[in-house]
Amino acid sequence: MKLQGVELRRITMPLVAPFRTSFGTEHERDVLLLRAVTDGAEGWGECVAMAEPLYSSEYADAAADVLRRFLLPALSRHQESARRPGGPGGIAASDVGHALAPIKGHRMSKAALEMAVLDAELRTLGRSFAGELGAVVDRVPSGVSVGIHDTIPALLDAVDGYLSDGYQRIKLKIEPGWDVEPVRAVRERFGDGVLLQVDANTAYTLGDARHLARLDPFDLLLIEQPLEEEDVLGHAELARRIQTPVCLDESIVSAQTAAAAITLGACSIINIKPGRVGGYLEARRIHDLAVAHGVAVWCGGMLETGLGRAANAALAALPGFTLPGDISGSDRFYRTDITEPFVLDDGHIAVPAGPGLGVAPLPDLLDKFTTSTEWVSVG
């Protein structure tokens, strides 16, 4: 396959309601999309970096910059060498990670580029993301991430609405001052049968271990990323001091860090986000590694549009994804998605079966949300 160039497209989508986590409040989602143009089909990639570097060091403007200045030129050079006499003649999605490896970090940008090339490749071949990744089901249970609310009654109203919608699992965002009481209130109101977990997004320290142990009686599925991203040993120690299973999100940036965290006892569950780990192919490697170690995985979310949501649903259909993920209906975050909306059906999201992502942006809606476009040629 010959990659001719990539369009970098920025869109801004308003959220149905502000989404508050321990690192900030989002009112709209500023997304960088990639459209890969090849001599076969076109492919779409979605960069999950947010507008500001609060979830991780990556942010959307930097993602566009590193793609333009370093990643696309690196892919261009790789493609040139592949087209020399005796070379493979073009570029394959499985080459992208290797071609971009000399550039350090920037995993969300690399993931978006690999996703776009993979989508183009699979559309050209008439194969789906789900089939390519190894999906074993055609629908996945849908969980929902519930932001920090101003009051407990407001939180209970929100959870009530999501349970009525059919969501299979509730995740509460927590931070110091908003942890034990909201969990207790949700348990008291909705009972022990609700699958419930919490996500701290790095808001605590190991010194909070005794306080976090107060969550033990509530039979949570897991506590996600209580400590700083780099504090893997702290998580291992915390896991010994609390009964709630520790799940890592921000700390797991590759299969290598996943292997280290598992070996150190820092987590018994992993939230896999393809953007955070450099792409869907690395995400699959982490899945395989976790399965080999008996560690459960689930697919997190980064307020994706229908494009990223489609790819996440395909990934979550792999056999090791034994816990419900954060793959919610499009209307959880957006009144209008840029693709046909994902709709909850009996608490599940259908895994797209068509070629590539199986969904594509609807041109009018895409244009409506677009704030800028830029064409970068790949020689």
Which structure tokens are listed for 43?
């492919």
26 binding Mg ion? (CB under 5 A): no
CB-based closest residue to Mg ion: 249
249 binding Mg ion? (CB under 5 A): yes
**Least CB distance to Mg ion at residue 100 (A):** 25
Gap between the Cα atoms of 46 and 308, Å rounded? 6
Which structure tokens are listed for 155?
């939180």
Size of the residue set binding Mg ion (CB under 5 A): 3
Gap between the Cα atoms of 104 and 160, Å rounded? 44
229 binding Mg ion? (CB under 5 A): no
**Least CB distance to Mg ion at residue 326 (A):** 8
**Least CB distance to Mg ion at residue 40 (A):** 36
Gap between the Cα atoms of 323 and 321, Å rounded? 6
Residues 217 and 240 sit within 8 Å (Cβ to Cβ) = no
**Which of 155/302 has CB closer to Mg ion?**
302
DSSP 14-72: EEEEEEEETTEEEEEEEEEEEEEEESS--EEEEE---SSTTSSS--HHHHHHHIIIIIH
Write the binding mask 180 to 219 for Mg ion: x where contact by CB under 5 A, - elsewhere: -------------------x--------------------
The catalytic residue positions are 173, 273
Which residues between 104 and 123 bind Mg ion (CB under 5 A)? Answer: none
**Which of 168/251 has CB closer to Mg ion?**
251
Interface region with Mg ion, contact rule CB under 5 A, candidates 54-62, 94-102, 220-228, 279-287: 220-228
Q: What is the DSSP letter of 355?
A: S
**Which of 7/208 has CB closer to Mg ion?**
208
The b/e string for 324-356 (b: 16+ C-beta within 10 A; e otherwise) is bbbbbbbebbbeebbbbebebeebbbbbbebbb
**Which of 114/199 has CB closer to Mg ion?**
199
Residues that bind Mg ion (CB under 5 A): 199, 224, 249
